């Protein structure tokens, strides 16, 4: 397996941004190119993730290429998925041996529309989407099963909310009204506009571009069934398998960056991947600011940052897409070469 590292990252999140997608991404893309001293002609491959359903515009990613600058022409690709999957596509391209450097970015601006409605459109178009279930209610279906089965307890939810910064203490948590019963506001994400850009480099290049490259030593993504009736809401076999294939258990994990937009998801992901409750906090929490299409790639950026600043040496980054943890990507980043 060819070694690939994250060597630069830039990100921005705000609850409601008045810049358009291009104005939001230019400073981030410029920042990572400046950090590495690369200009666009030095970058072998550019790959992005975004959703037309957020922009309300067909082929919206093409317009965002204004922020990259395709003159002279660039090798480019796009996924209608979280940017973590754009990173996976790019990683595969590295494995093919055809690139040495890459720009990966993703962004989402849910504020112009209704994200709850947009998320409904990802559901089964014949039997489920026409009923317009909102995302919090779908998450609540899962939460009730987990609670009634005893897989998680209300106190665990409260402690998770405290740990992820959405409640001050248990008392504060239990005083909140139920939003989508059994979920309270502190269990559910606050949505934000935002974007993230990364530079990846091969083993031949990474050390030139970064003092302490964050090496991708394992990466895998898996998907569970689409139809709600075909899934066990209390288990996430896809993340279990992805973690296993990414080699999560081959060594100690110093810190985790989970794409958990609900307290229930944080607890369930930890259970499925055999992770304990962390001593060190995540660098940022999707439950406080979740940016559809960017939150997953941002987890990988945050994992890389904790390697760059020396606070960790082996970090797990996780990304999810689809309703209630349907698709999962797990990536292990390491500071030292093995």
Partner 1 sequence: MTDVSVPSSLDGVEPVQSVRTPIRLEYTFTPGVAAQTYLREFANKKILGVVSPVDGAVLVPPRGADSRHGALCDEFIEMPHTGHVGSFCVTNVPIPGRDLDLPYISACIFLDGADIGFLNLVAECPPEECRIGMRVEAVWKPDEEIGMTAENILYWRPTGEPDIPFGAAGVRGWHVREEGEANA
**CB 332: neighbour CB atoms within 10 A?**
23
> CB of residue 137 vs partner 1: minimum separation in angstroms?
18
Tell me: does residue 40 bind partner 1 (CB under 8 A).
yes
Tell me: does residue 37 bind partner 1 (CB under 8 A).
no
Spell out the SS3 assignment of 95-152: HCCCCCEEEEEEEECCCCCCHHHHHHCCCCCCCCHHHCCCHHHHHHHHHHHHHHHCCC
- Residue 130 or 274: which CB sits closer to partner 1? 130
What is d(CA 176, CA 81) in angstroms, rounded to the nearest whole number? 33
The answer to whether 14 and 192 are in contact (CB under 8 A) is yes
Q: Which residue do the tokens 């979740």 mark?
A: 290
Please give the backbone phi and psi of residue 158, each rounded to the nearest 5 degrees, phi first: -60, -45
Half-sphere exposure of 245 (CA within 13 A, CB side): 13
- Residue 50 or 284: which CB sits closer to partner 1? 50
**Touching partner 1, residues 193-222 (CB under 8 A):** none
- How many residues make contact with partner 1 (CB under 8 A)? 34
30, 234, 245, 311: residue in contact with partner 1 (rule CB under 8 A): 30
Tell me: does residue 35 bind partner 1 (CB under 8 A).
no
Nearest one of 302, 333, 313, 297 to 217, comparing CA atoms: 333
**Touching partner 1, residues 123-142 (CB under 8 A):** 125-126, 129-130
What is d(CA 132, CA 119) in angstroms, rounded to the nearest whole number? 9
- Kindly list the distances between the CA atom of residue 186 and the CA atoms of 139, 220, 241, 264, in Å, as whole numbers in the listed order: 13, 30, 29, 11
Tell me: does residue 19 bind partner 1 (CB under 8 A).
yes
Segment interacting with partner 1, rule: CB under 8 A, options 16-24, 80-88, 175-183, 266-274: 16-24
> CB of residue 67 vs partner 1: minimum separation in angstroms?
5
71, 229, 230, 279: residue in contact with partner 1 (rule CB under 8 A): 71
109, 136, 231, 240: residue in contact with partner 1 (rule CB under 8 A): 109
95, 114, 169, 175: residue in contact with partner 1 (rule CB under 8 A): 114
> CB of residue 26 vs partner 1: minimum separation in angstroms?
5
Tell me: does residue 20 bind partner 1 (CB under 8 A).
yes
Segment interacting with partner 1, rule: CB under 8 A, options 20-28, 86-94, 274-282, 319-327: 20-28
Tell me: does residue 69 bind partner 1 (CB under 8 A).
yes
Q: What is the largest CA-CA distance in the chain?
A: 59
DSSP structure class, residue 42: G
Segment interacting with partner 1, rule: CB under 8 A, options 1-9, 58-66, 134-142, 289-297: 58-66
Q: Which residues of 21-60 are buried (b: 16+ CB within 10 A; e: fewer)?
A: beebbbebbebbbeebebeeeebbbbbbbbbebbbeeeeb
Segment interacting with partner 1, rule: CB under 8 A, options 61-69, 244-252, 255-263, 316-324: 61-69
Binding site for partner 1 (CB under 8 A): 17-23, 26-27, 29-30, 40, 53, 56, 63, 65-71, 109, 111-114, 117-118, 121, 125-126, 129-130
């Amino acid at each position: 397996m060819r070694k690939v590292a994250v060597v630069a990252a830039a990100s921005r999140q705000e609850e409601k941004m008045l810049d358009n997608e291009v104005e939001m991404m230019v400073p981030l893309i410029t920042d990572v190119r400046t950090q590495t001293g690369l200009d666009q002609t030095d970058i072998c491959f550019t790959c992005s993730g975004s959703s037309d359903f957020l922009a309300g515009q067909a082929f919206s990613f093409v317009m965002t290429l204004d922020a990259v600058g395709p003159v002279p022409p660039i090798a480019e690709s796009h996924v209608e998925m979280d940017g973590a999957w754009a990173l996976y596509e790019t990683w595969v391209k590295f494995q093919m041996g055809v690139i040495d450097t890459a720009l990966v970015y993703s962004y989402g601006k849910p504020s112009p529309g209704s994200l709850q409605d947009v998320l409904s459109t990802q559901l089964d178009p014949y039997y489920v989407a026409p009923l317009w279930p909102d995302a919090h209610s779908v998450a609540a279906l899962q939460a009730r099963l987990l609670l009634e089965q005893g897989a998680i307890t209300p106190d665990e939810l409260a402690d998770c909310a405290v740990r992820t910064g959405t409640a001050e203490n248990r008392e504060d948590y239990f005083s909140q009204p139920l939003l989508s019963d059994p979920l309270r506001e502190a269990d559910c994400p606050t949505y934000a506009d935002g974007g993230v850009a990364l530079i990846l480099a091969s083993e031949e290049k990474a050390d030139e571009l970064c003092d302490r490259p964050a090496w991708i030593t394992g990466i895998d993504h898996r998907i569970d069934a689409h139809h709600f009736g075909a899934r066990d809401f209390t288990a996430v076999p896809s993340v279990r398998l992805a973690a296993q294939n990414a080699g999560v258990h081959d060594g100690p994990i110093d810190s985790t960056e989970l794409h958990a937009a609900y307290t229930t998801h944080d607890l369930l992901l930890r259970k499925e991947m055999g992770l304990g409750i962390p001593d060190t906090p995540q660098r940022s929490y999707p439950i406080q600011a979740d940016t559809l299409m960017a939150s997953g790639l941002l987890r990988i950026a945050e994992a890389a940052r904790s390697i760059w600043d020396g606070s960790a040496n082996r970090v797990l980054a996780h990304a999810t897409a689809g309703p209630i943890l349907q698709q999962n990507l797990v990536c292990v980043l390491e500071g030292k070469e093995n």
